[in-house]
Copies of this chain bind each other. A is one copy, B any other.
Amino acid sequence: MELKFILESLLFSAQKPLSVKELREILTNAAEAEDADPGAKPFAKVKESDLTAALEQLAQEHESAARSYRLACVAGAWQFVTQPEFAPWLKALVGQKIRPARLSAPALETLAIIAYRQPITRAEVEQIRGVNVDGVMQTLTERGLAESVGRAEVVGRPQTYGTTALFLEYFGLRRLGDLPAADELRRIPLEKPPGPVTVEPGLATAAPEQLTLENKDGQPAAPVEPPKAE
């Protein structure tokens, strides 16, 4: 019996998303059950890395099959989900999904900043947005999308914020690394780079290549890209 099919049958039958850890537990339990099937024994101690590999392969296979559903990993747990374009019929089947009100533009902006820059203090978020964020921060923490994750090692030891597992779930992301254009956004330094900035007067209107931003590693930051829609 192939591991990936066992996993598939489990995810296919589960009432909730299953993490690698949970899947491993089930395999172990199946092997150690009193009336265990001999076929279950070989999977008593599967390595998590093997499980992950098998899951990735499964997801890949379902992606290629291009059917009406796919295998998704959200916040570290695996689940079969239908493709969004079938929503009109699924709504007729199960009714409208109960979801909280959509996030406002300020909330989304603030959340984006937290997501890419965590851990980040409120002051730092305000520095980027250029406005006070008390209200939105409260909304985000109340909705469980962001939370306090510690304190910054600066004067006053202000709280730092990060996103939650619910954040990943809400946006259907597997992990933070899957945020769109994550690398690029993370690379921008929050503070002005140290060292003298050699700016010519009149630079403000200079061509982009003359205005190379430098990040802390001394590498030129990525050029501004036009917003790309998904």
Contacts and interface: CB of A to CB of B under 8 A. Distances in A.
A88 B69 CA distance: 25
Interface stretch (A12-20, A112-120, A183-191, A193-201): A12-20
Contacts of A83: 9
A40 B22 CA distance: 38
Interface in A198-221: 213, 215, 217-221
A82 B217 contact: no
Contact of A69 (B8, B218, B230): B8
A59 to B, nearest CB: 13
Interface stretch (A27-35, A47-55, A150-158, A174-182): A27-35
A104 B230 contact: yes
Contact of A14 (B9, B93, B142, B229): B93
Interface of A: 1, 5-6, 8-10, 12-16, 22, 25-27, 29-30, 33, 36-37, 39-40, 65, 67-69, 80, 82-83, 85-96, 98-105, 107, 139, 142-144, 166, 169-170, 213, 215, 217-222, 224, 227-230
